[in-house]
Amino acid sequence: KQEVTQIPAALSVPEGENLVLNCSFTDSAIYNLQWFRQDPGKGLTSLLLIQSSQREQTSGRLNASLDKSSGRSTLYIAASQPGDSATYLCAVKVNAGNMLTFGGGTRLMVKP
């Protein structure tokens, strides 16, 4: 059974710092990996999708990498801002159905 782990569970950084969020998964046979942002009491906003054949994806200050063989993905946030404060979730798709397996999330706080 696929298991997804995110470390750390919580992170507090000063504004302007570059930071890395980690996601690991136990089964490397994945279709894709997706990073989401969730604000308190809100739904999930898709940030980046990496297909299994890709190594990384970039959007603005965000860069996500994927190393399938080691079962790891990282989300790099450059020049963090207070508006980046949220919970970040990674999820892997393991088959052609619609099932995503989620990690527990990293709760990020960026202090002004």
User: For residues 83 and 6, what is the distance between their CA atoms, to the nearest angstrom?
Assistant: 21
Nearest Cα neighbor of 31 from 100, 105, 104 is: 100
Residue 103 binds another protein, judged by CB under 8 A: yes
Residue 89 binds another protein, judged by CB under 8 A: yes
Q: How many residues bind another protein (CB under 8 A)?
A: 22
CB-based contacts of 112: which residues, under 8 Å, 6+ apart?
15, 82
Residue 64 binds another protein, judged by CB under 8 A: no
The interface region with another protein, picked from 14-22, 59-67, 71-79, 85-93 by CB under 8 A, is 85-93
Q: How far is the CB of 42 from another protein (least distance, A)?
A: 7
The interface region with another protein, picked from 17-25, 60-68, 71-79, 97-105 by CB under 8 A, is 97-105
User: For residues 53 and 96, what is the distance between their CA atoms, to the nearest angstrom?
Assistant: 15
With CB under 8 A as the contact rule, the residue among 12, 18, 46, 58 that binds another protein is: 46
Let me know if 106 is exposed, middle or buried by CB neighbors in 10 A (0-12, 13-18, 19+).
buried
Strand partners, 4: 25
User: Which residues of this chain interact with another protein, rule CB under 8 A?
Assistant: 31-32, 34, 36, 42-46, 49, 89, 91, 93, 96-100, 102-105
